[in-house]
Amino acid sequence: MIFLAYTPFVQPLPLWGHFAQIAWVLPICAALSIVYKSIRCHRMSSVPREAAVIFATIIGGMVLAAVVLAMLVKFLI
Amino acid sequence: MKVPSQDKKAERRQKNGALLFFYLTVRDDASGNVGSAVRNIFLWLAILVPHSGTYYSDFPDMPKRRPFNAPAPVIAIVNWLIPGSGYLMLGQVARGLTIGFTILILFTLGILIGGIHVVDPPNLSALKGNVVRTILEKPWYIGQFMSGAIGLISGWIGPMQPASHARANDIGTLYTAVAGMLNLLATIDSSYRTTLEDPYEPSATEGP
């Protein structure tokens, strides 16, 4: 029912579960990786591979940080 | 790789530019004080003209020559207004389209998530005190402003629409501001590439 009153681009997107909030990190990381590597790479043909690597690195780093912090909270504090 | 006919044209331009530079310098020495502002414009042209038309795309199917001969400041302004267009002016079509579409999609996603009111410029018309302080009250708009025409138009329409709150507003603001900062990065890079003899020098652009 919430979609009936929804106007795209005027009102905020009404999809706000816990997973949806976390999942919005993926598009911004992907865009950042693509633009950054498009600027840095010598040849555009190497951009998809390079962007995938940096995207995986960012997401992996954030997951690792989250796991470490969760363990700190669970076992030490 | 340079095409021979383009080499000849570039050489001819370089000679003309050098002659003009020499003439203006001699004339300035002889008369002592020739209108310095006009002279500087000609000196800039003498420096810029020999460098025009010598930049090539690395994309095999694309034209090997710059479609527009424009100096770095013009490339920077055009790229700021329309993300990726600076690269298109340099003949780097694949790079320009990739960067441009990615930035525009990111900005549009930000507005979709948080509503257009996430772009909320500082109200300079009702300015009461310091301009810098007024701008810094809404620092996210600095990033959003960098996304060019789409940021300006959204900043014009946005405040008239209902505001969003909490996470939707945060994420939408972050998306639009990051899109603008990426466009700033592309603007600096595209204008820098215009100053290079070979914009594909690994030492100039290659990185980790």
Percentage of chain B surpassing pLDDT 70?
A: 61
* Cα B193 to chain centroid, rounded: 11
With a cut of 90, say whether residue B63 has pLDDT above it: no
Query: Are residues B119 and B155 in contact, defined by beta-carbon separation less than 8 angstroms?
Result: yes
Q: Of A68-77, B141-150, B164-173, which range is least confident?
A: B164-173
**More confident site: A11 or B97:** B97
Q: What does the alpha-carbon distance between residue B106 and residue A27 come to, in Å, rounded to a whole number?
A: 8
Residues of chain B in contact with residue A16, where contact means CB-CB under 8 angstroms, are 167-168
Residue A51: exposure state from Cβ atoms within 10 A (0-12, 13-18, ≥19)? buried
CA A73 to chain centre: 23
- Determine which of A2-11, B72-81, B189-198 has the lowest per-residue pLDDT on average: A2-11
Count the neighbouring beta carbons within 10 Å of the beta carbon of residue A44. Answer: 19
Cα B90 to Cα B76: distance, rounded to the nearest angstrom: 11
- pLDDT range class, residue B129, cuts 50, 70, 90: confident
Binning chain A into helix, strand and coil, the percentages to the nearest 5 are 75, 0, 25
pLDDT at A57: 97
Percent of chain B exceeding pLDDT 90 equals: 35
Hey, what are A49's tokens? Answer: 């591979």
The predicted model scores a pTM of 0.72
Burial of B40 (C-beta count, 10 Å sphere; 0-12/13-18/19+): exposed
Give pLDDT, residue B61.
Answer: 40
B4 has a pLDDT exceeding 60: no
Q: Which residues contact B188 (CB under 8 A, 6 or more apart)?
A: B76
Residue B174 CA to residue B179 CA, distance in Å, equals 8
**In degrees, to the nearest 5, what angle opens at C-alpha B151 toward C-alphas B85 and A2?**
120
Point out the least confidently predicted range of A32-36, B48-52, B153-157, B170-174: B48-52
Mean pLDDT of B98-108: 96
Q: Quick check: A31 and B205 CB within 8 A?
A: no
Model pLDDT, residue B159: 82
Q: If we measure between CA atoms, which residue out of B68, B125, B116, B122 comes closest to residue B92? A: B68
CB contact under 8 A, A31 and B113: no
B63 vs A41 pLDDT, higher one: A41
Radius of gyration of chain A (CA): 18
Q: Is the pLDDT of residue B96 over 90?
A: yes
- Kindly list the residues of chain B whose beta carbon comes within 8 Å of any beta carbon in chain A: 58-59, 94-95, 98-99, 102-103, 105-106, 109, 111-116, 161-162, 164-165, 167-169, 171-172, 174-175, 178-179, 182, 185-186, 189, 200, 202, 205-208
Inter-residue contact B86 to B97 (CB < 8 Å): no
Please state the rounded mean pLDDT for residues B116-134.
Answer: 82
Residue B138: helix, strand or coil by DSSP? coil
Residue with tokens 């959003």: B144
What pLDDT score was predicted for residue B141?
92
Residues on chain A touching B178 (C-beta within 8 angstroms): 28, 31-32
- Residue corresponding to tokens 């633009």: A35
**Crossing angle of helices B36-48 and B4-31, rounded to 10°:** 160
Cα–chain center distance at A37: 16
pLDDT in tens, A1-45: 455 677 888 888 877 677 777 889 999 999 999 999 999 988 888
For residue B96, give the H/E element and its range.
Answer: helix B93-114
- The arithmetic mean of pLDDT across residues A56-65, rounded, is 96
- Lowest mean pLDDT, pick from A20-29, B2-11, B51-60, B101-110: B51-60
Average pLDDT over residues B117-145: 84
